């Protein structure tokens, strides 16, 4: 998992409590959710995926109890 820190990603963190990661194309949404929750010890509400230019991106919406900005700060994105 590789975090994406573009302007759009930062806006999603602040407005919608969502993080964007580049993930392995072979991973399913369940695999991504399990790996993310174990890695950061937070709960997720939903995961949407997008395949663009042969790369897979996961939009991970966090539970309201867990602010995305805290995870982004741990990763050094903000």
Structure confidence at residue 77 as a pLDDT band (50, 70, 90): confident
CATH label of the domain that carries residue 33: 3.30.70.330
Q: Which pLDDT tens digit goes with each residue over 49-72?
A: 999 999 999 999 999 999 999 999
CA-CA distance, 40 to 50, in Å (whole number)? 22
Q: pTM of the predicted model, to two decimals?
A: 0.93
Q: Which domain holds residue 31?
A: 2-75
Tell the burial category of 8 from Cβ atoms under 10 Å away from its Cβ (0-12, 13-18, 19+). exposed
The tally of domains found in the chain comes to 1
């Amino acid at each position: 998992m590789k975090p994406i820190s573009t302007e759009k990603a930062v806006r999603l963190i602040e407005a919608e409590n969502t993080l964007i990661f580049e993930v392995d194309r072979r991973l399913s949404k369940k695999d991504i959710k399990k790996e993310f929750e174990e890695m950061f010890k937070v709960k997720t509400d939903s995961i949407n995926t997008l395949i663009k230019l042969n790369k897979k991106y996961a939009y991970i919406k966090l539970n309201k109890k867990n602010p995305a900005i805290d995870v982004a700060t741990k990763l050094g994105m903000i």
